[in-house]
Amino acid sequence: MSKYLDCYDYAAIHAQAEHVVKHRKKLRRDVVQKYLDWFDTHCATSKLRFQQAQEVIPGGIEHNLANNHPFPISIDRAEGAYLYDEDGNRYYDLLMAGGPTILGNNYFGKECAQFIIDKAPLTGLYSEYERKLAELVCQYYPSVEMFRMLGSGTEADMIGVRLARAFTKKKEIIRIRGGYHGWSDQFIYNASEAPEDAACLNGIPVECFQSTHCVEPNDIEALEQQFIENEKFGGTAAFVMEAIGQDSGAVPLTREYHAAARELCKKYGALLIFDEVVTAFRLGMGGAQAEFGSKPDLTIFGKIIGGGYPCAGGVGGRREIMEMLAAGINKNRDKKVRVGGTLSANPLTAYAGCLTIEELAKTNAHETLAKASDYFMKEIAGLTEKYDVPALVFNHQSILHIDVAGSQHIPTIYKKDDPEFARQSKEASQCVMEFAMALAAEGTIISGGGKTYLSCATAPLVDEILGSYERVFKGFE
């Protein structure tokens, strides 16, 4: 009972999410033990590395993009469709560094190495590739008249809000519950939606996020209500949304909600900000805004625009807003919005970004990826039916949701003060963790949570990758 769903059919997805949450199945305990044993026998070096790292790195790991249970795998190298760990195990890479390496691992490795040898990765001065990259972004995003490169998606989200506040001279910000916009004081996951969650708030004064308000996804009335409420405090500067919905579209947004968001921002004089860190250049060249036919005032870009090279992010949008940014040579600096970043727009990343965007367009990569993804997901849905594993199975092109836990949907089903909410959340995270661990042991590394990605390198191998999934589904209760 796990049909392949249309990513724009929110009603069907919500209904299936409820089914998954209420009838969730787990891997059998003997199967879990088998996988734990596999890690012990096949990943001894990774285990050792984790023990060593914990001496000098808090928690022993600095990336939380993937599953790290029972311990993080220590990767030696990545090439094309594969990741290789220090113990010599080879995995299909469905994590894709959290999404940016759309063309496959190390696609422009030689070109970028030569660039470093010939030209140096960092000078602190202007390079021609900054302009070239900005031109490419403006070319594919009609809403972007000017673009500013930054060091990460987190920075870009911060600057987007700063610009919106300076431009509108208003303070309040609205976001969708569950959306991720980096880890700044203002946006850190859950801070404004769960002030009782101390783990989110250590070190963050309450003032940092008390002007940031969360609304429920797809509830147009609640959104307008928040705009009205904010009028009492001087009005809304911006509505910030992950353009396809929280956690890369795990709880997808409807087309009606998109249209209403645009209208309400206009009505209340707020900027509409699309966070396209994951979707820009992955959901087609024009990202989610082309898909929805919507025109945000500002767009947040992230890791993809550097083709997977560090450090990458950026903000783009209407000229009159973007011209408020102050770095560089500017008159009237007192009226500008400050922005900086030593590694922002470094020549290597700008160069890699240009190569990647041009290659994506030249190879028509998105069409191939979308076709392979649709096929893969239909087959996955078939497997969940065959082994009777309740799951949410849908995709936004190459952003795949294969979710056996329904974690992101729990708040849409249970109220926070319902004891079932806490029980469900705990059970769901165990289920997600064990599922990802099992897949790794079966040869495929996926992203954390219920989402993962295909790349141009993994797309031709989907039939082999299905084997990993089938072996794992077989082990469910």
Residues noted as catalytic: 180, 275, 303
Residues 6+ apart with CB under 8 A from 67: 432, 433, 436, 437, 440, 446, 448
Counting contacts by CB under 6 A, is residue 407 touching ligand PLP? Answer: no
Query: Which of residues 24 and 162 has its CB atom nearest to ligand PLP in the complex?
Result: 162
Of 172-201, which residues contact ligand PLP (CB under 6 A)? Answer: 180-182
242 binds ligand PLP (CB under 6 A): yes
Tokens representing 295 are 């025109």
Q: How many residues bind ligand PLP (CB under 6 A)?
A: 15
Question: Closest separation between CB of residue 176 and ligand PLP, Å?
Answer: 11
Q: At what angle do helices 44-56 and 29-42 cross, to 10 degrees?
A: 80
Looking at the Cβ atoms of 153 and 450, the one nearer to ligand PLP is: 153
Q: Is 275 in the site for ligand PLP (CB under 6 A)?
A: yes
In the complex, least distance from residue 111 CB atom to ligand PLP, rounded to whole angstroms: 23
Q: What is the distance between the alpha carbons of residues 29 and 281, in angstroms, rounded to a whole number?
A: 41
The answer to the question of residue 303 lying near ligand PLP (CB under 6 A) is yes
Exposure string over 152-174, b if 16+ CB within 10 A, otherwise e: bbbbbbbbbbbbbbbbbebebbb
How far is residue 144's CA from residue 454's CA, in Å, rounded to a whole number?
Answer: 27
Report if residue 277 touches ligand PLP, rule: CB under 6 A.
yes
Q: Is 409 in the site for ligand PLP (CB under 6 A)?
A: no
Q: How far is the CB of 427 from ligand PLP (least distance, A)?
A: 25
| Alpha carbon separation from 211 to 186, 214, 219, 229, 260 (Å, rounded) | 9, 10, 20, 12, 22
Residues in contact with ligand PLP, shown as a per-residue x/- string from 136 to 175 under the rule CB under 6 A: ----------------xxx--x------------------
Task: Write down the least CB distance from residue 393 to ligand PLP, Å.
Answer: 21
Max CA distance (Å), the chain? 68
- Exposed, middle or buried by CB within 10 Å (0-12, 13-18, 19+), for 18? middle
Q: Provide the terminal-to-terminal Cα distance of the chain, rounded to the nearest Å.
A: 15
φ/ψ of residue 147, rounded to 5: -135, 140
**Shortest distance in whole angstroms from residue 242 CB to ligand PLP:** 5
Stretch that binds ligand PLP, among 3-11, 206-214, 275-283, 286-294 (CB under 6 A): 275-283
Residue 447: other Cβ atoms inside 10 A? 22
Q: Which residue lies nearer to ligand PLP by CB, 73 or 244?
A: 244
The 8 Å CB, 24+ separation contacts for 410-417 are: 410/21, 411/177, 411/178, 412/14, 412/17, 412/216, 412/217, 412/251, 413/17, 413/18, 413/21, 416/194
Torsions phi, psi for 105 (to 5 deg): -70, 135
> What residue has token string 């049909």?
3
Determine if 212 is a binding residue for ligand PLP (CB under 6 A): no
> From residue 304 to residue 343, what is the string marking binding to ligand PLP with x (rule CB under 6 A)?
---------x------------------------------
Residue closer to ligand PLP, measured from CB, 27 or 133: 133
Nearest residue to ligand PLP by CB is 153
Find the shortest distance in angstroms from Cβ 280 to ligand PLP. 10
Interface residue list for ligand PLP (CB under 6 A): 98, 152-154, 157, 180-182, 242, 275, 277-278, 302-303, 313
